[in-house]
Amino acid sequence: MAFNLVLDIFAHALATGARPASGISVVHEETLVPTPLDETFAFFSDAINLEKLTPSWLNFQIRSEGPLKMREGLEIDYAIVLHGFPIPWKTRIDVWEPGVRFVDRQLNGPYVWWHHEHRFEAAADGGTRVIDHVEFVPRLRLLTNRFVRRDVERIFGYRKEALKRIFMERAGHEK
């Protein structure tokens, strides 16, 4: 209980403002998975599945009470542990277009700015192209940018491999 109170106080101090005019880093990943668009999007429609796509070294936990119905305006509270420091993180779904895309934006957390667009496109072979486009600005950017970028790229590298593994298993179970 005391830990959650400390996280809540810390979260207030980590509030995020408007999109900065400069200093934005971008990570863009595209992953082809062998499942149809509707099935792939349904997986992403369940916020709990985010835990399956996040490396264990982040100690990622959803703190919001479930079930969480994905929709525009949904706010989700998380906690991560980054380099030994517990960090609260709250995002908001700003755009929700079922079967096409959704966008989450950090309200408070480890970044000055975090904007993650998830896009989904049907592939010619019946699979789905999952596109992650992330804009971010780390706190203390001049000191931390190189390290934070490395961490974000590592997280999305893990995510890409997890997507392939999860959806290969799903496709294998259907055959």
Of 130, 134, 119, 133, the residue nearest 160 (C-alpha): 130
Evaluate if residue 15 carries a pLDDT over 90. no
* pLDDT value, residue 98: 97
Evaluate if residue 16 carries a pLDDT over 70. no
- What is the DSSP code string of 17-77? -SPPSS--EEEEEEEEESS-HHHHHHHHTBGGGGGGGS-GGG--EE-S-S--B--TT-EEE
pTM comes to 0.85
Evaluate if residue 175 carries a pLDDT over 50. no
Which of residues 99 and 7 earns the better pLDDT score? Answer: 99
What confidence tens digit (pLDDT) does each residue in 134-165 have?
998 887 656 666 788 888 899 999 999 999 99
For the chain, the domains span 2-174
Q: Which CATH number fits domain 2-174: 3.40.228.10, 3.30.530.20, 3.30.1490.70, 3.30.200.20?
A: 3.30.530.20
